[in-house]
Each structure stands twice: as structure tokens, then as C-alpha cells.
Amino acid sequence: MISRPSRHCSVELQALPPRIGQVRRIVSAQLRYWHLDALIDPAALGVTELLTNVHRHAEPDKRCTVEILLMLDRLTVSVRDHDPRLPRPCEAGPVSTHGRGLGLVAAVSESWGIHPRDDGGKVVWFTLAVPRPAFGNASPVAPDDLALARALDGDQTGPHPQAPDPHPLTAVREPEHAGARSTVSG
């Protein structure tokens, strides 16, 4: 069996304001490590908006998991929480200070979506296209691997119109006072 090249990073946290800034820095550092500097600003903005939604709206608690997954030519960023209520995009007034988060996520991403989880929570995700390097092989995925995976999929056209469904992670109970915890593979 041939599997697609991928890289993965996840962070479990309480979506509190100081933690949101820490996760934004973790995501930025991870993308820098993967040589995806061009995706740092949109990914950091998107994850900040999604975590702010958890902070403001999620019940019964603010525990969540941020996952970034690099699969070939697409980066998927997802936030999983324990609140079954699905967010709805809304039209914010010109002077409103709330209600623009999902609109910003939609504006900076290639695609985004929401799906309920069987355990009663939900996942909100967005994707960003991985830019092709201008020269050299700065890509975190070797071009031959990319071409092979596309050929095996019968895809010669580039980015897929639909984002992959992020794979749910097993929830880990975290004490109220705990900071962020992360795992990285790839």
C-alpha cells in the first residue's frame, strides 16, 4: 500500500486569551519548520479566529484541540471542541466588533467547513493551498512524491475542490489550569 506523504501537529488547550497567542506562535513556528512561511499569516489568522470562537461560545468548557495537517499540496487547520452547537456565519455591521470570524476564515482560505462529531462536539476546519516553490526544492514534500500520489489518484489537475475531512483525535482530559500540550509527527 502506498500512502500519501504527510506531516501532522496537534495542540490541546483551554481556549483562553493567553493560550490563543501561544497556539498562534506554535502554528507559526511549525509552518516555518516545514518551510511554509507563505502560509504563516493566513494560518495564524484563521486559527486565532477559530480559537476565539471557542473562547466566546463553546460550552460546557473551553477545552479544544488544534490540528494542522499537511497532505501534499494542501494544509488543513482544524479546531475541535466539545460543544455540539454549530457556528453560523453572520453579517456583521460596519462598526460591529463581533461576528466577522468565519467570514475572515472564508476570505483567507481555499475552503472551510464544519462537521459534527459522534462524541457530541464539532470540528471547524479550513484549508490553504501549499504554494509551489519558485526555485529549488524548498517544498516539505518531494515533487516526485507529489507526482506519484497524484498519478495514483488519477489527479493531474492540482488542488482538490473539496477539503479532506480532518481525522478526529482522541480527546485527552486536561486540568483547568494546564497550559497547551502539543504533538508533532513528520
pLDDT in tens, 106-158: 999 999 999 999 988 999 999 999 998 644 445 455 444 444 444 444 444 44
Q: How far is the C-alpha of 149 from the C-alpha of 4, rounded, in Å?
A: 6
Of 154 and 161, the one with more pLDDT: 154
Q: How far is the C-alpha of 82 from the C-alpha of 54, rounded, in Å?
A: 9
Q: How far is the C-alpha of 89 from the C-alpha of 102, rounded, in Å?
A: 6
Q: How far is the C-alpha of 144 from the C-alpha of 102, rounded, in Å?
A: 36
- On the question of pLDDT at 4 being above 90, the answer is no
From 123, 135, 133, select the one nearest 69 (Cα to Cα): 123
Q: How far is the C-alpha of 103 from the C-alpha of 57, rounded, in Å?
A: 16
pLDDT in tens, 67-119: 999 998 999 999 999 999 988 776 766 665 565 678 889 999 999 999 999 98
Quote the strand ranges of the chain, DSSP E: 6-14, 63-71, 74-81, 111-116, 122-129, 181-185
Q: How far is the C-alpha of 151 from the C-alpha of 5, rounded, in Å?
A: 14
Please tell me the CATH superfamily of domain 6-185, with its number: Histidine kinase-like ATPase, C-terminal domain (3.30.565.10)
Helix residue spans in the chain (DSSP H)? 17-33, 40-57, 101-108, 143-153
Provide the CA 88 distance to its chain's centre, in angstroms.
Answer: 18
DSSP code, position 161:
S
Domain spans in the chain, listed from the N-terminal domain onward:
6-185
Angstrom CA distances, 56 to 4, 101, 133, 150, 181, stand at 36, 11, 38, 40, 21
